[in-house]
Amino acid sequence: MPTVSTPTPPGTRDRLIAAMTDALRTRGYHGTGLSDILQQAGAPKGVLYHHFPGGKADLAVAAIDRVVDRMESGLDQLLAREPDPVQATRQWLEAATGRLQASGFESGCPLATIALETTAADTGLREALARAFERLRQRLATALAQGGHEPQRAGALAALIVSAYEGGLLQARVAHSTDPLTRVTDALLDLLAPARQSHSHDTGAHP
């Protein structure tokens, strides 16, 4: 009989990052206590400082990096299936809306949650967030440029999409309604569609 392999359980570092990410989505940075994270991860405090010498702040930075890794990976997979940036944007926003609704409007994007909480003293967190948002903007701008937008406009639209995504999630969460994100999705698609149609005409493509 063939040997059935079992998935390797995540290591302590990965469990700590996952626990921090979950906590950031629902409670935010300052609302999250180390004891709760350690309990959820099943890890002693000594192990936390072994992996993250800076403690809670270092763990939060690792969580931010992990979140944007997954968001980029998700965008890559989405764009591989749907290269049209208009439809890809629709699906990306609709997926975010579905996840938020499925969580009972409790689990938002941790990037915006942390950004709202940071102070001037949170240098490491702010730098990690800046990198995260820039990576998302760059990935979206590349897709938009490949879809027919001029590079400068692609960059501006990418910044708008990221801002609308984060802002729409925040508004939907506090309102306990998908309406803010639905409105954002409709508005962004209206902005993106004309350029796609113009590009199709310029290249001789037929609708």
CA 26-28-34 angle, 5° bins: 100
User: Distance between CA 43 and CA 39 in Å, rounded?
Assistant: 7
Alpha carbons 149 and 45: distance in angstroms, whole number: 50
pLDDT at 192: 83
| pLDDT of res. 12 | 92
List average pLDDT for each run of 10 residues in the chain, which is 207 residues long. 46 94 90 91 92 94 96 93 88 92 90 89 94 96 90 94 93 93 90 60 44
- Residue 27: name the closest of 103, 120, 92, 78 by CA: 103
Of 176, 55, 45, 32, the closest CA to residue 113 belongs to 32
Q: What is the pLDDT of residue 68?
A: 95
- Could you tell me if 78 and 136 are in contact, meaning their C-beta atoms sit under 8 angstroms apart? no
Phi, psi for residue 76 in degrees, rounded to 5: -60, -45
How far apart, in whole angstroms, are the C-alpha atoms of residue 101 and residue 181? 11
- For tokens 């469990």, the residue is 15
The owner of tokens 């300052």 is 30
Fold (CATH) for 61-200: Tetracycline Repressor; domain 2 (1.10.357)
pLDDT given at position 9:
52
Residue-range domain boundaries for the chain: 61-200
Report the pLDDT value the prediction gives residue 204, as an integer from 0 to 100: 46
